[in-house]
Amino acid sequence: MKTIEGNIKITRSGAGFVDISNNESIRIESGRLKTALNRDKVVVSIEGNPEVLKVLERAKKQFTGTAEQENGKWFVIPDDKKIHLDFFIPKSGAEKLEPNKKVLVELVKWDNPEINPEAKVLEIIGEKGENETEMQSILLNRGIDFSFPENVEKEAKEINRKINQEEMGKRKDLRGSPTFTIDPVGGKDFDDAISFKKLSNGNYEIGVHIADVSHYVRSDTALDEEARERGFSVYLVDRTIPMLPEILSNDVCSLNPNEDKLVFSIVFEFDKNMKIQNHWIGRAIINSNKRFTYEEAQEILDKKKGQFYEELNTLNEFAQKMNKERVEAGSILFNRDEIKIEIDERGEPTKIYKKKRLDTHKLVEEFMLLANKKVTEHIEKHCKKKDLQELFVYRIHDLPDEEKLQELSVFLKAFGYHLNVEGGVNPKEINRLIREVEGKPEEELVKTTLIRSMAKAEYSVKNIGHFGLAFQFYTHFTSPIRRYADLLVHRLLEKHLGEQPVSRKELEKYRKLSFDVSEKEINAAEAERESKKYKTVEFMQDKIGNEFSAVIAGVTDWGLYVSLKETGAEGLVRLGSLKDDFYRADSKYSVQGEKTKKRFRLGDEVKVKLTRANLDQKELDFVFI
């Protein structure tokens, strides 16, 4: 029997998919999944009707859900809608269960697909619907711990924060350069700072300084192991779950103003024409003069006066020129407004709005991109020059899926747009299209559809370049307080600059770490998305019956997904609610009525009315008006 092994992805509709290659996957119908759960490693028969033969490894064993009793038996209804069976809780483990309580359970046994999987209760989280319960459930379901083990907290508290003279002597002293951080309102973990100084030769010295977390978090310590397990800081709507204990993330490592701080720096010398003449990379010490929010720095730029106006204005001019050159080289223009959710002291959402990107956002972004790119190029040249074995953690982004782009090209023709994908996709061609749709009703739709055709960026020890940025060499160097990958990059940078040999064993270690951290990135992003979705539905609960302007953002066999123009909130218009005809999807981009031939397409502007806001399912339902 012909079989394949792989990780299965199960959809909310119940079908499973296992990748055969980068561009091809095999579909397994829900009745042939046996005891496989989403992301499990499985063996699949691919002869005839594909079927799961065996589960080799469970992706996870702990799940959150709601306790319910039926006919004297206790079950837990999983929060994860990709799990299509409830967990059975034996009587001996159900003594403390109450209906409507959220719980954390662990899968004990499931070897028969005809009966419910058996689980045991690990923790009663709280009452369903309460903010604290729901946010903790989102985290626990993803395996994200919101507290640190005692030994990790103890290790963090014992770190010597005093910078001794010996350490200072090893570092470049950059405390004389005007330096500041620019971060969001409420931010506490400042990874990066920028310094600016005009030189006597008329050139400019601009430094990008990154918190030297690797000085404090050493390999193979309890702190390092915990950071590796977490992979990322996670940002829910109402809280941050840091990768490192707060004594490190908000204090010891954070580049707080008016404090001496240890950093890894890349310092550039630019001439008057904004061309880089040379650069230096190494460990340094800085003292930030000012902590700006993005809005404060933007106000200074707009008013053309205020603290560090000259520095900010010159940096902004440099950033705009760098952005222009980057885009001309093929870097894709996916600038999109961020959806912000404001909450009150009880955690209840009070406002949802689209937050515009400011020039100061772009300023910081351009210098961080430059630092990430130049650090990687430096390592590449250094290793070849010194004949060292190359080992680095790259941030890579593969070419888009050609088949998806072909489909997109056909779809865009219906709107009067042309995307040339002959002989492969060209990022400049994508930018041309993005510029063409700017300000048009279908702008967001085209950008969203383009993004869906793209590969996901990930971490790897094998460099293939970054398609979206049009960079041949790229890494993540600038956020080690909140991304473990950046901490790995700092350690490798230290090793290479010190010309230390790299072993085959280390290469394999970093290969595995790169894969693991890529998986954890998906996990953190899903938790953040789920938090926003929950708060959006909660915000909409008292708006049933209200009418909204929207754009059709997705087409399925069962309905049309719409995105509200004002807030970006998404919901479903079910095909069954369209009473004037029988509609069916005639492509990935439209549905058509059988009799009237009336068509609804992706990107159409519509008026909708909210009919349902289901917090359990995190779903909004609308009807057309």
pLDDT tens profile 76-129:
999 998 999 999 999 999 999 999 999 999 999 999 999 999 999 999 999 998
Distance, in Å, from the CA atom of 210 to the CA atom of 179, rounded to the nearest integer, reads 12
pLDDT at 269: 98
In sequence order, what DSSP letters do the residues of 176-210 get, joined into one string? TS-EEEEE-TT-----EEEEEEE-TTS-EEEEEEE
Average pLDDT of the chain, as a whole number = 92
- Average pLDDT on 574-603 reads 89
Residue-level pLDDT at 266: 98
pLDDT at 208 over 60: yes
Q: Which amino acid, residue 193?
A: A
Of 216-220, 492-496, 608-612, least confident by mean pLDDT is: 492-496
pLDDT (tens digit per residue) in 239-283? 999 999 999 999 999 999 999 999 999 999 999 999 999 999 999
- Rounded to an integer, the average pLDDT of 127-140 is 94
pLDDT of residue 387: 60
Give the pLDDT band (50/70/90) at residue 562. Answer: very high
Residue 401 pLDDT: 78
d(CA 252, CA 261): 8
Residue 34 has pLDDT above 60, yes or no: yes
Is pTM beyond 0.85? Reply is yes
Confidence check: pLDDT of 388 > 60: no
Fold category of 3-54 in CATH:
OB fold (Dihydrolipoamide Acetyltransferase, E2P) (2.40.50)
Q: DSSP class of residue 329?
A: T
**Tokens 């961080």 sit on residue:** 368
* 616 has pLDDT over 60: yes
Q: Backbone phi, then psi, for 5, in 5-degree steps?
A: -110, 145
pLDDT of residue 389: 63
Per-residue pLDDT at 406: 82
Confidence of residue 197 (pLDDT cuts 50, 70, 90): very high
Instruction: Judge whether residue 512 has pLDDT over 70.
Output: yes
- Checking if the pLDDT of 404 tops 90, the result is no
Predicted confidence at residue 117, as pLDDT, reads 97
Which of 1.20.210.10, 1.20.1600.10, 2.40.50.640, 3.30.420.280 is the CATH number of 62-128? 2.40.50.640
Q: CA torsion angle for 557, 558, 563, 568 (degrees, to 10)?
A: -110
Alpha-carbon dihedral angle through residues 293, 299, 301, 307, given to the nearest 10 degrees: -70
Contacts with 415 (C-beta within 8 Å, 6 or more apart), sequence order:
442, 446, 603
Say how many CA atoms lie within 13 Å of 118 toward its Cβ: 9
| Mean local confidence (pLDDT), 447-461 | 87
Dihedral (CA of 224, 229, 235, 238) sign: negative
- Predicted pLDDT at 581: 93
- SS3 labels along 73-124: EEEEEECCCCCCCCEEECHHHCCCCCCCEEEEEEEEECCCCCCCCEEEEEEE
How confident is the model over 49-70, as a mean pLDDT?
95
Altogether, the residues listed in the chain come to a count of 625
- Choice among 290-304, 343-357, 434-448, 510-524 with the minimum mean pLDDT: 434-448
Number of H helices, E strands in the chain: 14, 31
**So what's the pLDDT on residue 497?**
86
Domain boundaries, the chain: 3-54, 62-128, 150-158+166-330+356-378, 544-624
pLDDT band at 22 (very low <50, low <70, confident <90, very high): low
| Top-confidence residue, 388 or 532 | 532
Rounded to whole angstroms, the Cα distance separating 282 from 498 reads: 10
Lowest mean pLDDT among 176-190, 195-209, 334-348: 334-348
Phi and psi based region of residue 465 (left: phi greater than 0; alpha: psi -120 to 50; beta: remaining) = left
Residue 444 confidence (pLDDT)? 73
Q: Which fold has domain 544-624?
A: OB fold (Dihydrolipoamide Acetyltransferase, E2P) (2.40.50)
Percent of the chain clearing pLDDT 70 (strictly above): 99
Q: Percent of the chain at pLDDT above 90?
A: 76
Within this chain, domains 3-54 and 544-624 share the same CATH topology: yes
Mean per-residue pLDDT, 355-369 = 95
Average confidence (pLDDT) over 353-367: 94
* Lowest-confidence segment of 21-35, 352-366, 461-475, 600-614 by average pLDDT: 21-35
